[in-house]
Structure 1
Amino acid sequence: MPAVRQYVPHRLLRRRVRDIASGIEGELMAVINENVSDAGVERWMELAYIRGASGREFTTPVANVQPA
């Protein structure tokens, strides 16, 4: 079975960032290259995991992440 995720180094890990799509700020916890395949078509995407002020983490495409 192929891997479904792989951690990716990022210069903003553990720093305060903003998701430009939602405007939410938080700490970048991880960037993961994830297999988001559907209906048998393999597709990989780099997702940023951001922990907001509430303590909950959310994901956004890594291209949406900028320093806060």
Structure 2
Amino acid sequence: MPEAYEHLRHPLLRRPVRDIASGTEGELMAVVYEEVGQVCGDPQYKPIAYIRMPSGRELSTAASNVQALG
């Protein structure tokens, strides 16, 4: 299991992608293993993707929501 807040390798890094949850398109900048909540006092971690939109702003989403464009 990755360490908390560790950057993860992803085959789509630096490639054009779409967030299937919002339809937002941009470049996948990073995937980081982050705390997303707690269950019975235990932290829960998931891979979170960061997509940079053409405007320069970044959107975070579940890494499982990332889809290659084209």
- Fold shared by both chains (TM-score > 0.5): yes
What stretches of structure 1 move > 3 A for 4+ residues in a row?
37-40
For the residues of structure 1 that align with 2:60 and 2:37, how far apart are their CA atoms?
A: 16
- Residue 35 of structure 1 deviates from its aligned partner by 1.9
Query: What residue is the counterpart of 2:35 in the other structure?
Result: 35
Mark the runs of 5 or more structure 2 residues left unpaired by the alignment: none
Count of aligned pairs: 66
Range moving further from structure 2, 30-39 or 53-62: 30-39
The two structures have a TM-score, normalised by structure 1, of 0.87
Query: What residue is the counterpart of 2:58 in the other structure?
Result: 57
For the residues of structure 2 that align with 1:38 and 1:52, how far apart are their CA atoms?
A: 30
The two structures have a TM-score, normalised by structure 2, of 0.85
